[in-house]
């Protein structure tokens, strides 16, 4: 029964995590574009339904069958605004996976400093794993695969943006992979240094008995 519960939990948690990661990725694009240029962005999810800024108000067609989500920058009506978009295009591209990477580092830092328990810890662990977004967007397209192996984009926005500012593949790819491995190891150390739940409960019982005595 324990294995069955874990299997059912995995079937629910993994898709929910991937969906959240994809939406946060698109939010990184949209938020960066709006913050730097002041123009409106729209976020769509498969099969082309608008979810931001107005849920379900628009349908983006035709929709690429392999795409899971897309951020559309509303074409500005002035040359000056369009130039701002072009000036910041590389950062807008990068901040899809850049945003999830930032959230991952902040989550790891929060776990390290706060040592939370319960549902908050689980949420922060999920946040710490968001670096998988940049890792997969970096590695899979090199082998002509998509962002999530079979779904998503097949061109690495991350590497395109870094390449556009002069950072070559032979440097960006190893750095991203090593950074991701470091984050996996950081999370492993945090988990391995955490006392078992049984020991934590025993400590609480001991403290409660001591206080009552």
Residue 50 domain flag: no
Cis peptide bond N-terminal to 90, omega within 30: no
- In tens, the pLDDT along 173-196 reads 999 999 999 999 999 999 898 766
Q: Are 97 and 139 in contact (CB under 8 A)?
A: no
Residue 163 is part of which domain span? Answer: 2-39+78-194
Q: Would residue 182 count as lying in a domain? A: yes
- Which of 62-71, 128-137, 163-172 has the lowest average pLDDT? 62-71
Unique residue bearing structure tokens 């960006």: 172
Whether the pLDDT of residue 201 is over 80: the answer is no
Kindly state the average pLDDT of the residues 24-48: 92
Residue 40 has pLDDT above 80, yes or no: yes
Q: Residue 28: how many CB atoms within 10 A of its CB?
A: 23
What is the rounded average pLDDT of the residues 23-35? Answer: 95
Tell me how far apart the alpha carbons of residues 128 and 67 are, in angstroms, rounded to a whole number.
Answer: 25
Q: At residue 197, does pLDDT exceed 80?
A: no
pLDDT tens by residue, 112-159: 999 999 999 999 999 999 999 999 999 999 998 888 888 888 889 999
Residue 123 lies in a domain: yes
CA dihedral 53, 54, 57, 60 (to 10 degrees): 20
pLDDT range class, residue 51, cuts 50, 70, 90: very high
Strand 49-52 versus strand 41-45 pairing type: antiparallel
pTM score of the predicted model: 0.85
Residue 141 lies in a domain: yes
Question: Domain tally for the chain?
Answer: 1
Average pLDDT score, the chain: 87
Q: Rounded distance, CA 159 to CA 147, Å? A: 13
Other CB atoms within 10 Å distance of the CB of residue 18: 16
118 in a structural domain: yes
The tokens of 150 are what?
């079979």
């Amino acid at each position: 029964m324990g294995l069955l519960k874990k299997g059912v939990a995995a079937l629910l948690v993994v898709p929910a995590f991937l969906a959240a990661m994809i939406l946060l990725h698109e939010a990184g694009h949209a938020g960066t574009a709006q913050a730097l240029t002041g123009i409106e962005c729209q976020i769509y999810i498969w099969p082309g339904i608008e979810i931001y800024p107005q849920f379900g108000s628009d349908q983006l067609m035709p929709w690429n069958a392999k795409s899971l989500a897309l951020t559309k920058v509303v074409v500005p009506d002035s040359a000056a605004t369009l130039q701002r978009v072009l000036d910041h295009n590389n950062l807008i591209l990068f901040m899809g996976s850049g945003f999830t990477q930032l959230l991952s580092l902040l989550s790891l830092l929060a776990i390290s400093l706060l040592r939370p328990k319960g549902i908050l810890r689980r949420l922060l662990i999920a946040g710490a794993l968001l670096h998988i977004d940049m890792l997969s967007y970096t590695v899979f397209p090199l082998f002509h695969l998509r962002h999530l192996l079979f779904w998503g984009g097949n061109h690495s926005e991350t590497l395109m943006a870094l390449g556009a500012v002069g950072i070559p593949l032979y440097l960006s790819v190893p750095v991203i992979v090593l950074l991701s491995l470091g984050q996996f190891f950081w999370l492993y150390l945090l988990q391995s240094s955490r006392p078992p739940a049984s020991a934590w409960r025993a400590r609480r019982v001991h403290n409660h008995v001591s206080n009552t005595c």
